[in-house]
Amino acid sequence: MFGIDLGKYRTLVVSIFLFLLFDLGVLVLNFVISSQIAHDAEAVNLAGRQRMLSQRTAKAALQIEKQAASDTPDRKLPAELANAAEIFDRTLRAFMQGGETVSGSGSPLALAPLDDAEAQAILQRAAAVWTPYRQAMQAALAPGANADAVAALVQRAEAANLELLGLMNDLTTRMESIAASKAKNLRMVQVGGITLATINFVIILVHFIGHLRRADRDLEHARKQTDDILKTTQEGLFLLDPDYRIGSQHSRALGGMLGSEKPGGASLIDLLRPAVSQKTLDTAREYIDLLLKHDVKERLVASLNPLDRVEINLSSAPGDTSQRYLKFAFNRVTENKRVTHLLVTANDITKRVELERDLKESEERSASQMSMLVELLRVDPAAMQEFLSGAGSALEHMNSLLKDQTEGREAHSTRINGIYRVAHRLKGDAAALGLTSLAANVHGLESLLTELRERATLTGENFLPVTVRVKSLFADLESIQNVVARVAQMRSTVLVEAPRPAVDADAQALAFVQQWRAFAHQIAQRRHKQVELSYGGLDLAELPAVQRETILSVVNQFIRNAIVHGIETPDERRLRGKPVAGRLAVYVMRNEEGGLALSFRDDGQGISVEGIRQAALKSGRLAPERAHTATDRELIGLIFEPGLSTQGSADEDAGRGAGLDAVKEMVVGQGGRIRIGTTRGEYCHFRVALPAPAEQPDVAAAQPANQEIQT
């Protein structure tokens, strides 16, 4: 309908339209029928007049005859007769064929022929009587008419008079009855129209009241659902208008979040004012404006929301403030593509924020521990290892005290004291080694225990922070162990693997290599150590006997020395990040001068300069003063001196100080040289050069200075 969408009002409009249509119909019919009835009344009057005129003509005819006999005839009578006859005649014809006649008041009046068959029949009969009567009248009234004509007229009049009167009477009655039936029709039309209109009205009433009721019920239902949602949701939900006002419909939770009894109608900015900085507030206003008034993508500006984490301090009672974190999210509400409001969702994210913060703190804590641990690697590895194993059992002990579920004041008190004692000792040990962060952590545990001691009542649950702390100490120990191992591994991989020619698989199968290997395993087994020996280079069988034997003997000594003094126990090696089995690498090759070069390397703990110093002092090889001033180079040189052993007590593999002095004797005896390279904790590397066998060396010329020492 011209593009106007009637929507749900369509039925109503149609009903009202019908109602008006019925009324209009009744009105039009009413008008038409009423005018017909008026017309009919006129005709009835005319019919009545015809009756009167028929009498008047008869009377006039009789009077004319009477006066004809007298001397003074009334001159008006013939005119009167002619006039009455004329009107009767015209009216009769107008009734029959339509035409003009004169009304009662004398004005001309147009008539339609009567459309009623019965009335026409009456008129036909009247005309049949009237026509000869009218002719007689004309003959009698003609100038010079004689008495006979008058007599004939009177005769006619007497004959026609009664019949005409009767006929005109019938006509009047007939027409009255037609008019009456039309009036009846009119009433029926009116009644019908009003009935239809009433029915229509009733339908409208029933239909719309039902409709309205249903709509009201639906509305109520929807309102209740909305109410329920707003009442129960944990989120703060509300609409925000362009003046930053909170809509009247909001979730119940909102009040509690904002600390306002009635947030509806209040300004969000005002409510937030005490909680956030002026700058945040200004930015919030700008952000809301941006969403409401500017052509931006809602999703692509969400990251600019300044209210995505608002810290609010609420005081529910004096002195009792709680800190909450709220997150406000803004979504556009559009009507006809225009943004009218923002739907705001406020969430309490306190728990989440706190968890995030805790997580961050604990990550920071562990990061700082790591960096501190790296520094703490200066601690002597043996002392560290001892501490770590002691600390591990201390923590296990604490855990076993927790695990014992005996309850009651007494048991709890015993538990607290037991854990405290262990903790206190652990703290002292950690502090002594300079493990300050670990000591601080243990100190924290002590404080927790002190707090527990002071509590009036104790339940198992109160121990939760203690357990958490013990776990974090376990974790500290583990990370110390990891760092120690990792750093040791880094050193060993960089340094131990330096000069290592490709190992020839065939060389491994050589008989003398098998023999060295068996010898190495035998010693290692006795010392509870593990070793692997690899060989590369010449087949010794190709060498002259003297050289071959020197090499075999020297290598045997080196093997013994390395396993006894160099290679650490598997536990120690693990701690330092080395492979559990110590590595012995042997190479023999020809050097440029046609002599032999022997390389023997182990990845053990290297030579302990301090150990040699002590041994030299003890054996009296160096005077105390000399011992303190001796350089590392000088001290290491002493390992080739007879009678010096760093081994505390003698056993079958070492300790008697024999071995390396024999090596020196042999090598120097053949004119060769020995070089030593060592790094404490990492490796020890002997390199022996033997000259070609043809040049028999002068044994006496050999000097100890032939040892070159690299540290």
Contact residues for another protein, defined by CB under 8 A: 279, 282-283, 286-287, 289-290, 294-297, 299-301, 303-306, 351-352, 354-356, 358-359, 362, 399, 402-405, 407, 412, 415, 459-461, 463-465, 467-468, 470-471, 474-475
Give whichever of 122 and 458 is closer to another protein, judged by the CB atom: 458
Q: Count helices and strands (H / E) in the chain.
A: 21, 13
Residue type, 425: R
Of 415 and 685, nearer to another protein (C-beta) is: 415
* Residue from 710, 569, 561 nearest 646 by CA: 561
Which of 680, 685, 711 lies closest to 382 in space, CA to CA? 680
Cα dihedral 526, 528, 532, 537 sign: negative
The least CB distance from residue 210 to another protein, in Å, is: 43
**Of 10 and 351, which has the nearer Cβ to another protein?**
351
Distance in Å, CB of 543 to another protein, minimum = 53
**At its nearest, how many Å lie between another protein and the CB of residue 359?**
6
Minimum distance from residue 397 beta carbon to another protein (Å): 12
3-state secondary structure of 81: helix
Q: Which residues contact 567 (CB under 8 A, 6 or more apart)?
A: 524, 529, 531, 573, 582, 602, 603, 604, 605
Neighbouring CB atoms inside 10 A of 344's CB total 22
Least distance to another protein from the beta carbon of 261, Å? 27
* Residue keyed to tokens 């060993």: 492
- Closest to another protein by CB, 448 or 543: 448
Q: Which is nearer to another protein, 238 or 463 (CB)?
A: 463
State the minimum distance, in angstroms, from the CB of residue 481 to another protein: 12
Q: In the complex, what is the shortest distance from the CB of residue 462 to another protein, in angstroms, rounded to a whole number?
A: 9
684: β partners = 602, 678
If the CB atoms of residues 272 and 470 are measured against another protein, the closer one turns out to be: 470
- Cβ 502 to another protein, closest distance in Å? 38
Rg (CA), the chain: 69
Give the SS3 label for residue 661: helix
Least distance in angstroms from the C-beta of 279 to another protein: 7
188 or 468: whose CB is closer to another protein? 468
Check: CB of residue 458 under 8 Å from CB of residue 412: yes
The nearer residue to another protein, 208 or 474, going by C-beta atoms, is 474
Helices (H), 576-639: 609-618, 624-629, 632-637
Point out which residues pair with 1 in neighbouring strands.
none
Burial class, 208, CB count within 10 angstroms (exposed 0-12 / middle 13-18 / buried 19+): middle
Residue whose CB is less far from another protein, 98 or 460: 460
Please report how close the Cβ of residue 422 comes to another protein at its closest, in angstroms.
14
Nearer to another protein, 471 or 526 (CB): 471
Between residues 107 and 334, which has the closer beta carbon with respect to another protein? 334
Does residue 335 come out as left (phi exceeding 0), alpha (psi in the -120 to 50 range) or beta? beta
Q: How far is the CB of 245 from another protein (least distance, A)?
A: 21
CB of residue 429 to another protein, shortest distance in Å: 21
Using alpha carbons, list the distances in angstroms from residue 261 to 102, 254, 378: 94, 9, 63
> In sequence order, which residues have a C-beta less than 8 Å from that of residue 366 and are 6 or more positions away?
475, 479
Q: Which is nearer to another protein, 87 or 452 (CB)?
A: 452
Inter-residue contact 680 to 607 (CB < 8 Å): yes
> Locate tokens 């009698």: which residue?
140
> How far apart are CB 677 and another protein at their closest, in Å?
39
Q: Which is nearer to another protein, 423 or 470 (CB)?
A: 470
Identify the H or E element spanning 509: none
Residues 6+ apart with CB under 8 A from 225: none
Alpha-carbon distance of 20 to 498, in angstroms, equals 112
* Minimal distance, residue 284 CB to another protein, in Å: 9
Residue 255, φ and ψ in degrees, nearest 5: -55, -45
Smallest gap from Cβ 466 to another protein, in A, equals 8
Q: Which is nearer to another protein, 309 or 590 (CB)?
A: 309
- 548 phi and psi, to 5 degrees? -55, -45
Nearer to another protein, 235 or 603 (CB): 235
Q: 583 is written with which tokens?
A: 């590595």
For 395, how many CA atoms within 13 A lie in the half-sphere containing its CB?
A: 22
CA distance 401 to 406: 10
Q: Which helix (H) or strand (E) holds 70?
A: none
481 in helix, strand or coil? helix
The answer to whether the beta carbons of residues 601 and 685 sit under 8 Å apart is yes
422: phi then psi, degrees, rounded to nearest 5: -60, -40
Sequence-ordered strand ranges (E) for 423-545: 531-537
SS3 of residue 507 by DSSP: helix
